[in-house]
Homo-oligomer: A and B are copies of this chain.
Amino acid sequence: MTKNTRQRIVDAAMELFWLKGYSSTSIADILSRSQVNSGSLYHFFPGKQDVLVAVLEAYRDGIGPMLLEPAWGGVDDPLEKVFALLARYRRSIVDTECQYGCPIGSLALELHEPDPAVRELLAANFTAWVDAVEACFREAAYRFEPGTDLRALAELTLNVMEGGVMQARTYRDVACFDRAVAQLRRMIEAMLVRDLAE
C-alpha cells in the first residue's frame, strides 16, 4: 500500500530541500520525485512555503525516532550519548563524501527573510536538539563541577556541531569535524570533577 499523497510530498520535499536547498528545489522537482501531480500538491498546500512548514514540522516531530534513538542504540553513558549523536553526524558527512549539511542549519542560513512560522519552526528544531543534549548532561550532572551551566554547554555543543559540519563541507574533509568534536570533548573533560574523570 502506497503512503498517502500528502506524506509522499513531504518526504520528497524533505529530501530535496536537504540535497539542493529550498530555493533551488522547484515544485516540479517535488512533483516528479513524489510522483504526484500539480493539482494534488496544491490541493494539500497553498504554496511552496507551506510545504516547507510541513517539512520542518516533520523534522521537529522526528528528532527522537529518526535522530536520537538511532544514534543512541546500545549507548548507556549519558555523556557518551552526546558523542554518539555527534558520531551520527560524522557518519552522514562520510556517507555523503563531505557534502552533508545539517538540514536545519542550512535552511536557517539560506532563508534570509523567513516567515515567522518558518523561523519559529527552525528555532523549535534547534531547541529540541539542545534540550536533548542538555538532558544528557543533566543525567551526568553529578560528574560536573558544581555550578556548571549545562544549558550553555548544550548550546555550545550545537554550535560546535554546526560549525564543524560547515567546515567539513567547505573543505570536503571530515577531519575538520573531527577536530571540532575533539576540542569539545577536551573542554567537557576539563569541566568534570577530578576524582570522577576518566
Instruction: Say whether, besides A159-B159, A160-B160, A166 and B23 are in contact (CB < 8 Å).
Output: no
A123 in contact with B171 (CB, 8 Å)? yes
Q: Is A110 on the interface with B (CB-CB < 8 A)? A: yes
Q: Is A112 on the interface with B (CB-CB < 8 A)? A: yes
Instruction: Say whether, besides A110-B109, A112-B99, A180 and B155 are in contact (CB < 8 Å).
Output: yes
Copies in the complex: 2
With a cutoff of 8 Å between Cβ atoms, the chain B residues found around residue A160 in the complex are: 156, 159-160, 163
Interchain residue pairs with CB less than 8 A apart (28): A20-B112, A21-B23, A21-B112, A99-B112, A101-B109, A101-B112, A106-B110, A108-B169, A108-B170, A109-B110, A123-B170, A123-B171, A126-B167, A126-B170, A126-B171, A155-B183, A156-B160, A156-B163, A159-B167, A159-B180, A160-B160, A161-B163, A162-B162, A162-B166, A163-B163, A187-B187, A187-B190, A190-B190
Interface set of A (CB-CB < 8 Å, partner B):
19-21, 23-24, 99, 101, 105-106, 108-110, 112-113, 119, 122-123, 126, 152-153, 155-156, 158-164, 166-167, 169-172, 176, 179-180, 182-183, 187, 190
